[in-house]
Amino acid sequence: MRFPMTAAALCAAAVLPLSACSITQSNESDEGSGPIRVTSSNDACQLSTTRAPSGTVVFRVENTGSKVTEFYLLGEDGLRIVGEVENIGPGLSRDLVTRVAPGSYVTACKPGMSGKGIRDAFTVTDSGKDTSIKGVDKAAIDHATAQYAAYVKDQTDRLVTRTRAFVSAYTHGRDAQARRLYPVARTPWERIETVAESFGDLDPKTDAREADLEPGQKWTGWHRIEKDLWPPAGYSPLSEQERQKYGDNLLANISTLHQRVQHLAYTVDQVGNGSKGLLDEVATGKITGEEDIWSHTDLYDFQANVDGARVAYETLKPLLQVKDPALSRTIGQRFANLQQLLDGYRHGDRFVSYDTVTPAQRKELSDAVNALSEPLSQMTGAITL
């Protein structure tokens, strides 16, 4: 899920409806009032300005190409993700709302949602303005963001413990046990996936899917091991030595994530946008069945993404109730509706295999995700503006 105000940043993705004028009208760029216009085509990424004052910045991204695209605001190193908006289809526009400190950044459009993208430098100047959130007590803000930081650290503690058990079963050839542990071990990762993704060097090593590999990219991580545990026809199993190598590599990367999050701090917009980003993960990967293509354990990841999104919302709920109580009630109800649907696919503490979920049932789940995604996308703007 990456931010210039601390050593790293949380992935921030907020997709706002074009009707949400109150969110964009109050923002100013160096070119005047309103959002920064981003035009993403198949071979270009044009911004109406490459400078903005510090504070809340809105990018309105229009896809004029023929491929689905993404837009990123990255740290100066080109790795840390300050904010992103995904899954922008041809002819569509999406908004990214993020609060940024003065400094140097990088923008990137990714036509086809692959590669490093079409990049350019972006500068945030010091506006000298009060960037506090109007109408919300600072103590309440500090409490909410501290709660979320504690949640992330707790989830990475669980992640290390569960991954260690999974790797032990896998490397010792206890395949039945490893298959049972695989979705359980991944759950904490998926709950904080937007935070994990914020480390541009770490996420591809840990969670890359085979279909998304770049030419020459070495494939490691969860899904490399998944394929070995649920081998497709014609697959050549990994040797004991290879299993040990991939298992050790996964545990090392998880341990690195654990170390990196210990001193992270988060802002309200990062928590809010991260919540929406987790719903985007469901919409772009879990619903389609592309995430766990061999194990069909997608519903575990689906649930974990929803868990993480709900925790982020509940962390900010006291702030949202001050600024927009009606929106808060809507979000809460739609989380409940989605959870009710998910519970229908449980047997005890296990989910059914996703390949048994029919197209009609997947559409029902997708509709519930979209119904939640729309109001959730307004949460960051409702609180911060």
Confidence of residue 30 (pLDDT cuts 50, 70, 90): very low
Residue 316 counted as domain residue = yes
Supply the DSSP string of 21-71, one letter for each residue.
Answer: HHHHTT-EETTEESPEEEEE-SS-EEES-SEEESEEEEEEEEE-SSS-EEE
Asked if 195 contacts 152 with a C-beta cutoff of 8 angstroms, the reply is yes
Handedness of CA 4, 284, 187, 173 (dihedral sign): negative
The closest alpha carbon to 307, from 169, 165, 158, belongs to: 158
> In this structure, are 305 and 158 located in the same domain?
yes
d(CA 225, CA 211): 15
pTM, two decimals, is: 0.78
Q: Is residue 14 part of a domain?
A: no
- The chain-wide mean pLDDT, for the chain, equals 88
Does the residue 5 lie in any domain? no
* pLDDT attached to residue 113: 81
Residues 146 and 77 in one domain: no
Please indicate, yes or no, if residue 114 is contained in any of the structural domains: yes
pLDDT of 32 above 70: no
Specify whether 143 is located in the same domain as 32.
no
Which residue do the tokens 């996936």 mark?
193
pLDDT for res 83:
82
Residues 16, 85: Cα–Cα separation, whole Å: 10
CATH number of 90's domain: 2.60.40.420
The confidence score (pLDDT) of residue 297 equals 98
- pLDDT tens-digit series, residues 334-370: 999 999 999 999 999 899 999 999 999 999 999 999 9
Residues 110 and 143 in one domain: no
Domain containing 41 equals 21-125
Number of domains in the chain: 2
What sign does the CA torsion over 134, 136, 139, 140 have?
negative
Residue 109 three-state SS? strand
- 16 is a domain residue: no
- Residues 226 and 106 grouped into a single domain: no
Question: Residue 1 falls within a domain, yes or no?
Answer: no
Distance CA(289)–CA(363), nearest Å, equals 12
Distance CA 319, CA 135 (A): 9
Q: Above 50 in pLDDT, residue 80? A: yes
What's the rounded Cα separation, in Å, for the pair 313 and 373? 12
For the chain, give the percent of residues with pLDDT over 90. Answer: 70
Question: 172-217: per-residue pLDDT in tens?
Answer: 999 999 999 999 999 999 999 999 988 888 999 999 999 989 888 9
In a domain, 348, yes or no: yes
Determine, yes or no, domain membership for 130. no
